[in-house]
Chain A
Amino acid sequence: MNNEIAKPENLVYTKTPVLNDVPMHYCPGCSHGVVHKLIAEVIDEMGIQETAIGIAPVGCAVFAYKYIEIDWQQAAHGRAPALATAIKRLMPNKTVFTYQGDGDLAAIGTAETIHACNRGENIAIIFINNGIYGMTGGQMAPTTLEGMKTSTCPYGRNPEINGYPLNITKLVAELEGTRYVTRQAVHTVAAVRKAKKAIRKAFEYSMEGKGTSFVEIVSTCNSGWKLSPVQSNKWMEENMFKAYPLGDFKDR
């Protein structure tokens, strides 16, 4: 074998230094790791490592601060947009973003989400929607699909008992305060590239003072869904994307 591959000019990929060299606690196949990497890359490419402030949620991503090397605050469950509101208002020259799951953003934190978006806070909200509570062991989320089984709807989500899946991204797109609302995924190379562009756009927009940017990433939770990573991606495409179709809601 030759050593061509080790020559610097042949380097085609290197991990961004904004992503720390520590093992992630996420399950293999989980979307969080990919989205973390994209955020770290965007921070690196925009040169904002020393001006970005992230807000970590309660949920699987509570330890986001261990992986992306910037200043972080870890919020109470659902309150990340309130923290981000204050931080951005007090320091408009910083890039402020929240990273939240579906339980955090669309159940317990619905009021904070809606009102931060409606005030048009100049923040970026990254919303991981995997339709389940991963951290607490697979309970029903506000975004759990009809018929989908979780530990608190073991026979499948029944709207008569559990209500309907909440399409909160569609809802925030209706608000005057939002500037950019999009729904992405990270299950294929093409999707990853598109999601990265969306995250970068959201971060850039947040510095232009024209309203809230909201990026939903439809994600997998293979542990919670009790499927292999490959099966999870397939299940997501066949089921999640029907209820939560990908694409831009708003970009102005």
Chain B
Amino acid sequence: MKGNEAIAHAAIRSGCDGYFGYPITPQSEVMETLMEIEPWKTTGMVVLQAESEVASINMVYGGAGCGKRVMTSSSSPGISLMQEGISYIACAELPCVIVNVMRGGPGLGTIQPSQADYFQSVKGGGHGDYRLITLAPNSVQEMADHTSLAFDLAFKYRTPVLLLADGAIGQMMEKVTLPPARPRRTEEEIRKECPWATLGKRHGQKGNVITSLALLAEEMEAQNLKLQAKYAEISTNEIRVEKYMCDDADYVVVAFGLCARICKNAVETARANGQKVGLLRPITLWPFPTEEIRGLAERTKGMLVVELSSGQMVEDVRLAANGKVDVQFYGRLGGIVPSPQEVTDALHKLMNH
């Protein structure tokens, strides 16, 4: 099935309570699939087409505030519209899943795949000091697996989780094994897992309030420090990375998502020619695998970062490498996907530098 369809199926099987979205290419199949399956007839999951991405993300806020497993999906311009809501959700510490099937920008841009929303995703696209756990699937299988994982991480840390794919991963068709089906939680189960949720005031207790407002600067600083402590914990526990032929590598290519698949092809070509090249694929873009890259930077001769952008993740790779090794960049923009040959050429340039 398509990557976008896999997300829909995986969401239902993850015990998702509600999906709220607005159509935009190249991710509309997520809602289309859900509307065709009609999960409200089986699991009771709510699926609603909202009037805008602004409404979608705020519906997610409302549902998440009730401790429900809720999600939305969109593509780059729609995700831009959601940024205010995402900032509120991060501050109010609500768990939810947001899917961005990226397309080329800026502006209305194009519908072809892109990775140019990296900065927006990992540096906080909305206002204020916050982070999103950002998962970068590179296959239809990972679209399904990461949907399920995203819900788990969101609830483990009471934080929004972003699934950052691109138009190609969303549209491509591959075989997929769907995650095991989990039932939706009962209200009592939610009350136990999420004592902060607004499910109706408990008898004899104060009402729960979901808010991101603290007028006193001291209170707001305390809330910020609480968030930062949580982000530090996530950075310690949740870095995910795939390393391919890195152990003896003289040169390492760093790429995520679709680019990592193209680069893997180029790495295999290099190996076939006797060149010791490896691939490091960050699966979590935030938290970023800084230590892994630092380690490789200390013992390799060069790194090449390949992205569907003008060079965004390369900044984090250079920060991690900290000048220890030459870090070069190759990227295509606006929806163009590089061929493995282009990556091979970029590798030759790095090796001959």
Q: How far is the CB of B1 from chain A (nearest CB, A)?
A: 27
Q: How far is the CB of A98 from chain B (nearest CB, A)?
A: 10
Looking at A89-97, A187-195, A222-230, A239-247, the stretch in contact with chain B turns out to be A89-97
Considering the complex, give the chain B residue whose CB is closest to the CB of A89: B46
B70 within 8 A of A: yes
A7, B276: Cα distance in complex, Å: 93
**1/0 contact string of B188-212 vs chain A (CB within 8 Å):** 0000000000111111001111111
A6, B43: Cα distance in complex, Å: 57
Q: With A91-B199, A112-B58 given, can you name 9 additional A-B contacts, CB distance below 8 Å?
A: A50-B200, A62-B213, A76-B58, A79-B61, A82-B50, A83-B65, A86-B46, A86-B58, A112-B54
Contact A83 B51 (CB under 8 A): no
Contact B198 A53 (CB under 8 A): yes
Considering the complex, give the chain A residue whose CB is closest to the CB of B48: A89
Out of A52, A82, A91, A112, name the residue touching B66 (CB < 8 Å): A91
**1/0 contact string of B162-185 vs chain A (CB within 8 Å):** 000000000000000000000000
Chain A residues whose C-beta falls within 8 Å of the C-beta of B213 in the assembled complex = 62, 74
Q: How far is the CB of A148 from chain B (nearest CB, A)?
A: 29
Contact B198 A86 (CB under 8 A): no
**1/0 contact string of A60-78 vs chain B (CB within 8 Å):** 0010010001111111100
Contact A49 B85 (CB under 8 A): no
* A-B residue pairs in contact (CB < 8 Å), sample of 7: A53-B198, A65-B211, A70-B201, A72-B211, A83-B59, A90-B46, A112-B51
Considering the complex, give the chain A residue whose CB is closest to the CB of B208: A71
A105, B54: Cα distance in complex, Å: 15
Contact A72 B61 (CB under 8 A): no
A129 within 8 A of B: no
Contact A65 B209 (CB under 8 A): yes
A111, B207: Cα distance in complex, Å: 29
Number of interface residues of A (CB under 8 A): 31
Q: How far is the CB of A59 from chain B (nearest CB, A)?
A: 12
Contact A90 B68 (CB under 8 A): yes
Chain B residues whose C-beta falls within 8 Å of the C-beta of A72 in the assembled complex = 198, 207-211
List which B81-112 residues lie within 8 A (CB) of chain A. Answer: 84-85, 88
Chain A residues whose C-beta falls within 8 Å of the C-beta of B231 in the assembled complex = none
Considering the complex, give the chain B residue whose CB is closest to the CB of A92: B46
Chain A residues whose C-beta falls within 8 Å of the C-beta of B61 in the assembled complex = 73, 75-76, 79, 82-83, 86
Contact A82 B59 (CB under 8 A): yes
Considering the complex, give the chain B residue whose CB is closest to the CB of A85: B59
A100, B41: Cα distance in complex, Å: 34
Q: How far is the CB of B72 from chain A (nearest CB, A)?
A: 10
A186 within 8 A of B: no
A37 within 8 A of B: no
Chain A residues whose C-beta falls within 8 Å of the C-beta of B88 in the assembled complex = 76
Chain B residues whose C-beta falls within 8 Å of the C-beta of A49 in the assembled complex = 201
B245 within 8 A of A: no
Contact A79 B85 (CB under 8 A): yes
Chain A residues whose C-beta falls within 8 Å of the C-beta of B17 in the assembled complex = 90
Contact A115 B201 (CB under 8 A): no
A231 within 8 A of B: no
List which A21-77 residues lie within 8 A (CB) of chain B. Answer: 49-53, 55-56, 62, 65, 69-76
Chain A residues whose C-beta falls within 8 Å of the C-beta of B55 in the assembled complex = 79, 82, 85, 111-112, 115
A84 within 8 A of B: yes
A90, B48: Cα distance in complex, Å: 11
A90, B46: Cα distance in complex, Å: 7
Out of B52, B63, B200, B207, name the residue touching A86 (CB < 8 Å): B63
B18 within 8 A of A: yes
Contact B84 A76 (CB under 8 A): yes
A87 within 8 A of B: yes
Most buried by B among A56, A84, A91, A115: A91
Q: How far is the CB of A185 from chain B (nearest CB, A)?
A: 28
Contact A111 B52 (CB under 8 A): yes
Out of B18, B58, B209, name the residue touching A75 (CB < 8 Å): B58
Contact B58 A71 (CB under 8 A): no
Top 8 nearest A-B pairs by Cβ distance? A83-B62, A82-B58, A86-B62, A74-B211, A86-B59, A71-B198, A79-B58, A115-B51
**1/0 contact string of A187-211 vs chain B (CB within 8 Å):** 0000000000000000000000000
A242, B229: Cα distance in complex, Å: 55
Q: If A83-B62, A90-B66, A112-B51 touch, does A50 touch B203 (CB 8 Å cutoff)? A: yes
B20 within 8 A of A: yes
Contact A83 B209 (CB under 8 A): no
B337 within 8 A of A: no
B296 within 8 A of A: no
B327 within 8 A of A: no
A65, B201: Cα distance in complex, Å: 12
Chain A residues whose C-beta falls within 8 Å of the C-beta of B60 in the assembled complex = 86
List which B23-70 residues lie within 8 A (CB) of chain A. Answer: 46, 48, 50-52, 54-56, 58-63, 65-66, 68, 70
Contact A71 B52 (CB under 8 A): no
